[in-house]
Structure 1
Amino acid sequence: MSRRMSMLSIAGGAALWGIIGLFVTYLYEFGFTPVQVVAVRVASAAVLLLLYTYFTSKQSLRIHWKDSHYFIGTGIISIVFFNLCLFIAMDETSIAIAVTLLYTAPAFVTVFSRFLFGELFTGSKITALFTTLIGCALVVGLYPYTGFELSVYGVIAGLGSGFFYALYSIFATYALRKYSSVTVTVYTFVFASVAILPFAGLGSLSSAFAQPATWVNIIGIGLFSTTLAFLFYTKGLEKVESSKASIIATIEPVVATLISFFVFRELLDSWQIFGFLLVITAVILVQERSRPSFLKRKVS
């Protein structure tokens, strides 16, 4: 896969994340809590990924258990905790503030990548980073500011969601030095499922599970907004720096906003359209040619 195709792969994964609201909305109507939605999301993805990999590439299921710390990182520390922090932030503040705080992730990744991988702070990367943050704030409606009662606990949780979201790129980068993108994605969700399922209380949803529509949305969230999204995103990390990947992935809130307009008929104002253009501009800014992928290095 070329570097340009890797960027498109990351953008495609982010777009699939952006349509998750289509499935989550209906699962909430069936009585699911946020934690339960996270649980069915990671569990359905784990099952789909295991089946797909078993029939297409059995060797990709082989790992050394001494490397489990990589998947504890991607699956538990990142996927589980970023979702939980995000839901807390949404409850304590607002969706606009929570989503904006989530997209502080590129700032965390850029700093981490400088010290962990030696990725330089280039002018275009810094410009794209600030352009993205401003664009996201406009898209989700944080600016113009209309007055929010901020919860310190909620703000900390929101920053935590950005922190843990950023860690997926970092942990996945290390794991990709030894394993394929398929292997990394499979075991990310296997480990996440093992961690969260015992605490999700899915047994209380027996009536919801009896409805076919519930399973349609579980498969939707598991296949499109999780399995394919993470496969595309993780595959893209093989050729794209993690700091750039996290900036490209901010296409997600733009897609989510467009879905809310075309599906739920929520109008886009001029500020949101401007924010959309800023995020697209940031994606273009990070498409510069860089040195060979750091994935070619050996793990010490």
Structure 2
Amino acid sequence: MKFAGIGLVILAAICWGISGGIADILMDKGWDPLVISFYRGGVGLICFFVWFLLRFRQNRGISVRLFLWAVFAGVGVAGNFTFYFLSIQASSVAVAATLMYTAPVFVLLMSFLFRIEPSTWFKWGCITGVLFGIILLTGAYNIESISGSFFGVAAGLAAGLSYALFIFGFKNASSTGNPQTTLTIAFFSFCLILFLFTDKGEAAAVLASSDIGWFLLLGILGAGLSFILYVTGIRWTTPANASMVAMVEPVTASLFGVLVLGDHLTPIQIIGMVIILMTVSVLSVKKSD
């Protein structure tokens, strides 16, 4: 079952990686990142609600604690999807996906801030390593030829921070309820939040457009199927193994960008990407141990 769990997590990470490329295709067609995020979460909500109904007898009661943490997770995933797509639009799929993978570093910094865990030289070394990798990946060492715009870098880091908030909220909500209940409430909150900021006319136009298939595929791969695979897979494996195989997501997104979308990565960018992925993986495994 351990290898089955790892396999499910890998499949989920591959789905997330491909979703970034699909979003880039839709943005090239002129669709707004907020509309793309809204449909990704909306299709995901339908999938989770069906899962909720299929497991209805196993669902526990919805407590106030569960509801509040699930809504908090929904805010986090809304920010994650939106900032991730904005980062792709301003930079590239590879840069955005790798910057989003800095989420464990934000979790670590928040742990220091709220004194949840002590600060050590090892942890600060990991933070320094990630920052060094970001400098190489984005080309920030050369202001004249920076490869990613400042907005793209900021949006990518904001996606990582939002992802950390989602993890924090989902973990606390799942401690008192089932994953399907938590995900249904979280993505319902997600849809309500983005509906307030999304262009209603453009969102309605999606339903009659020839790109509706891309939106459905994005929602199924990027939210519905991937999250179900992930939460099922982590039950059968350890957090350390799940953290390691999660590296598949930015690698898949980068390969999709290079092979399908025609993105280009310099050797220095590749080195920066490797430094970020390896440092965050080592940190995640160490924390799990």
TM-score by length of 2: 0.74
The amino acid across from 1:195 in the alignment is I
Q: Which segment drifts farther, 281-290 or 12-21?
A: 281-290
Residues 48-90 of structure 1: CA distance to partner in whole angstroms, max 9, x if unpaired?
21123312445338523553211221002x1123344455666
* 1:167–1:66 CA distance, 2 compared to 1 (3 A): closer
- Asked whether the 8 Å contact 2:9–2:229 carries over to 1, the reply is yes
Quick one: distance in 2 between partners of 1:28 and 1:132? Answer: 29
SS at match of 1:19: helix
How far is 1:224 from its partner?
A: 0.9
- Asked whether the 8 Å contact 2:67–2:173 carries over to 1, the reply is no
Corresponding residue to 2:167 among 147, 166, 169: 169
Quick one: distance in 2 between partners of 1:12 and 1:283? Answer: 20
* 1:94–1:103 CA distance, 2 compared to 1 (3 A): same
- 1:220 pairs with 2:217: yes
The amino acid across from 2:260 in the alignment is V
* 1:277–1:169 CA distance, 2 compared to 1 (3 A): same
* 1:28–1:208 CA distance, 2 compared to 1 (3 A): same
Quick one: distance in 2 between partners of 1:102 and 1:159? Answer: 6
Quick one: distance in 1 between partners of 2:182 and 2:115? Answer: 19
Corresponding residue to 1:184 among 182, 192, 195: 182
SS at match of 1:226: helix
The amino acid across from 1:182 in the alignment is Q
Partner of 1:79: 77
SS at match of 2:24: helix
* 1:267–1:162 CA distance, 2 compared to 1 (3 A): closer
- Asked whether the 8 Å contact 2:35–2:202 carries over to 1, the reply is no
Partner of 2:263: 266
The amino acid across from 1:199 in the alignment is F
- Asked whether the 8 Å contact 1:113–1:170 carries over to 2, the reply is no
- 1:20 pairs with 2:24: no
Quick one: distance in 1 between partners of 2:135 and 2:6? Answer: 23
Structure 1 gaps, min length 5: 292-300
How far is 1:34 from its partner?
A: 0.9
Partner of 2:227: 230
Residues 93-142 of structure 1: CA distance to partner in whole angstroms, max 9, x if unpaired?
6458766654442221123346779556677766555555544655x543
* 1:178–1:245 CA distance, 2 compared to 1 (3 A): same
- Asked whether the 8 Å contact 1:6–1:236 carries over to 2, the reply is yes
Quick one: distance in 1 between partners of 2:135 and 2:243? Answer: 16
The number of residue pairs the alignment matches comes to 285
SS at match of 1:178: coil
Cα RMSD of the aligned pairs, angstroms, is 4.1
SS at match of 2:211: helix
* 1:195–1:283 CA distance, 2 compared to 1 (3 A): closer
* 1:58–1:126 CA distance, 2 compared to 1 (3 A): farther
SS at match of 2:139: coil
- In the TM superposition, 1:1-300 aligns within 5 A as 2=2, 10-60=9-59, 62-65=61-64, 67-76=66-75, 78-86=76-84, 94-95=91-92, 102-113=100-111, 118=116, 130-132=128-130, 134-135=132-133, 138=136, 140-142=137-139, 145=142, 147-148=145-146, 159-211=157-209, 213-235=210-232, 249=246, 251-278=248-275, 281-282=278-279, 285=282, 286-287=284-285, 290=288
Partner of 1:296: none
TM-score by length of 1: 0.72
How far is 1:176 from its partner?
A: 1.8
- Asked whether the 8 Å contact 1:10–1:249 carries over to 2, the reply is yes
* 1:64–1:123 CA distance, 2 compared to 1 (3 A): same
SS at match of 2:145: coil
The amino acid across from 2:18 in the alignment is I
* 1:181–1:82 CA distance, 2 compared to 1 (3 A): same
- Asked whether the 8 Å contact 1:74–1:188 carries over to 2, the reply is yes
Quick one: distance in 2 between partners of 1:11 and 1:266? Answer: 23
How far is 1:270 from its partner?
A: 2.5
Q: Which segment drifts farther, 97-106 or 181-190?
A: 97-106
SS at match of 1:20: helix
